[in-house]
Structure 1
Amino acid sequence: MGNKIKLSKEKKDKMISAIKNYFLNEREEDLGDLSAALILDFFINEIAPEFYNQGVYDSYNYMNEKIEDLLGIQKY
């Protein structure tokens, strides 16, 4: 994917907080902001493109199905 996924500061801060809470609650590890931000950057760069691509693929299939439905209303 050519363009990097960009998040607003508010969304990024919320995600960093969620990562910190997850590690604290599930692993009893107290992460700092920098560690949580690095984990978020890893997911954005390495994992998120797969989800994005799946969303594009699913949208493509959905639209193709709808186009096929549209052809069904032709008048003969």
Structure 2
Amino acid sequence: MTEITFSQDQKARMVSKIKAYFEDELQQEIGGFEAEFLIDFFATELGPHFYNRGLFDAQQVLTEKMDEVGYVMQELEKPEV
């Protein structure tokens, strides 16, 4: 699996959210560097878990849709004479 990277804009928005969370929920200030460090840590250590869950969820949806296609195909069959 390749390393998870984010654009500067994406990272800036995430840093802002982390800083707001620390301030609102923990009543602590966190600097931009520390917030970026947390993002990198979460991406490296927890990212694969979320990625794999996303793949699992996508596979479930795809399987359900393929089952639906199978039923539609059966409905299109012509009776044999």
Name the TM-score, length of structure 1 as normaliser: 0.88
Instruction: Give unpaired runs (5+ residues) of structure 1.
Output: none
Name the TM-score, length of structure 2 as normaliser: 0.83
1:35 is matched with 34
SS in 1 for 2:46: helix
Shift of 1:12: 0.2
For 2:68 and 2:26, how far apart are their aligned partners in 1?
A: 49
1:10 is matched with 9
Instruction: Give unpaired runs (5+ residues) of structure 2.
Output: none
SS in 2 for 1:43: helix
Q: Percent identity?
A: 33
Aligned length: 75
Q: Which runs of 4+ in 1 moved over 4 A?
A: none
